[in-house]
Structure 1
Amino acid sequence: MGVAGSTSKVESPDLETTPRPKHIFILSGQSNMAGRGGVTRNRHWDGVVPPQCHPNPAVSRLSAALRWEPAREPLHHDIDSKKVCGVGPGMAFANAVVRRGGAGSEAVGLVPCAVGGTAIKEWARGENLYENMVRRARDSVKGSSAAAGGEIKALIWYQGESDTENQRDAEAYRANMERFIHNFRQDLGLPSLPIIQVAIASGDSRYIERVREAQLGIDLPNVVCVDAKGLPLKEDHLHLTTEAQVRLGLMLAEAYLNNFASMKASYRQPEAHYC
């Protein structure tokens, strides 16, 4: 699918109020989740926002300061703050969920947590990245009542390129990822929390298939996988292009809508494994 009108630039929206979201999604992983779409060789973001990623009054983001604000690209600008962030999959995902009625008439909230260049061992329980993600996830629903407040609907996870750099990390990836899922669900008190992970499209050629096999092989309840292989890469052969990020966001939305959008008080087994 092409990105129609992707040469236009969009100013930040002037929204007087930010609705407290009821459908909350955690965005985490490394650089392709943080977004490098449109980041040029000289490490500047070109500012191009595809129509699928335009700001939407129904979509907000949790800032680094733990405040809800209107969501706009780059979603991770104050989270992956040591790198230049561009377009990622989050806005295209959220807009598609809203457009398709996956949140009803209620607001959607995104909680950016991804940090570029990070390995799965850096997301282990007790490590700073993991603990910060858990803290942000908890704060996203703080003060929410069953009648008025938000609910974490899914973790969307795109990580693994850093674990293709040596054989030991690649071979340990599946066990580490399964432990990560267990710990995150346990620490949030959500034992059936939906997890939508992305099978990586790039990495060290020697061990990328080991990591992809691990991602494709995870067989846990309420875990589905979207495969990024074949999506267009930038000249660095590592990061997805802006167009690829839009396509990935739509694929993630489809996975959520097909498997989890109708889930209410109790969770069910996903109807399909996407990888």
Structure 2
Amino acid sequence: MPRLRVDGAATPPLPVYLVIGQSNAVGAGANISDLSTAWKAPQPNTQVFYANAWPKLAPGVVQPDYFGPEISFGKRISPYGKIGIIKGSVNATNLAVDWSPTRAGSLYFKMLDMIQTAKVTKPIKIAGIVWMQGESDAKDAAMAKNYGANLVAFIQAWRRDLADQSIPFAACRVNPPHGEFPYAADVRAGEEGVTLPG
């Protein structure tokens, strides 16, 4: 049942974006000390779900030393209205296994659980998903070759389990092949080959 405001009207759900993936989503190496004062300030229109609460988004709220793409994303999107962010990112994780929507206990299911926990605290609606991941799969030839198919299945699983086939999904392109990521070109091809709408 929708929550009611004091005037009796239903409280509209907060549009919430997921920011998920591996190290680039975590923000590893992006030090808060490098930011200007303006970028360190809490964002008035953006909340982030953390420790069962919705504090204003600022560097250091979710991670004490680092910040990820949620900071610039919030600044870009929030001028259009109040938004929320749920961040779930883990260093060195792959799509093939760690985030697989077909593997019980994967990070995919942990994120679904987090969303359900967040829904207990306030009315929310998932408005979009930002996916920054791929380097871990780019270390393995088979994972890289199957990245496109795995990404399609991943997107379809989110839309199915969140009961919304129109959820926008932004897959940020993985870094070019180098050093420990020799199969990044295959991952990139997989990303770019996804033809699902939205």
- CA shift at 1:210, angstroms? 0.4
- 1-structure distance, mates of 2:56, 2:120: 18
Corresponding residue number in structure 2 for 1:24: 16
- In structure 2, C-alpha distance between the alignment counterparts of 1:171 and 1:74, rounded to whole Å: 36
* Alignment counterpart, residue 28 of structure 2, candidates 33, 36, 40: 36
| Percent identity between the two aligned chains | 25
Is 1:109 the counterpart of 2:101? The answer is no
Measure, in 1, the Cα distance between the counterparts of 2:175 and 2:35.
Answer: 22
The answer to whether the aligner puts 1:118 opposite 2:93 as a matched pair is yes
Distance 1:150 1:72 in 2: 20
Q: CA deviation at 1:25?
A: 0.5
CA shift in 2, pair 1:85/1:217, >3 Å = farther
Q: CA deviation at 1:57?
A: 1.9
**What residue is the counterpart of 1:17 in the other structure?**
none
Output the CA distance in 1 between the equivalents of 2:89 and 2:67. 13
Aligned partner of residue 113 in structure 1, secondary structure: strand
User: What is the correspondence of 1:72-221 to structure 2 with a 5 Å cutoff?
Assistant: 72-74=58-60, 76-77=62-63, 86-99=66-79, 101=80, 103=81, 107-120=82-95, 121-125=97-101, 126-142=104-120, 149-202=123-176, 204-221=180-197
Gaps of 5+ in 2: 1-11
Residue ranges of structure 1 left out of the alignment (5+ in a row): 1-19, 39-44, 78-83, 223-275
Query: Contact 1:66–1:136 at 8 Å: present in 2 too?
Result: no
Aligned pair in 2 of structure 1 residues 113, 75: CA closer, same or farther (>3 Å)? farther
SS of equivalent to 2:172: strand
- Structure 2 letter corresponding to 1:115: V
| Contact 1:53–1:92, Cα closer than 8 Å, also in 2 | no
Q: Is the 8 A contact 2:136 2:181 kept in 1?
A: no
Aligned residues: 181
CA distance in 2, matches of 1:201, 1:26: 21
| 1:141 partner amino acid | K
Question: How does the TM-score come out when normalised to structure 1?
Answer: 0.60
TM-score w.r.t. the length of structure 2 is 0.82
Structure 1 residue 206: Cα displacement: 2.2
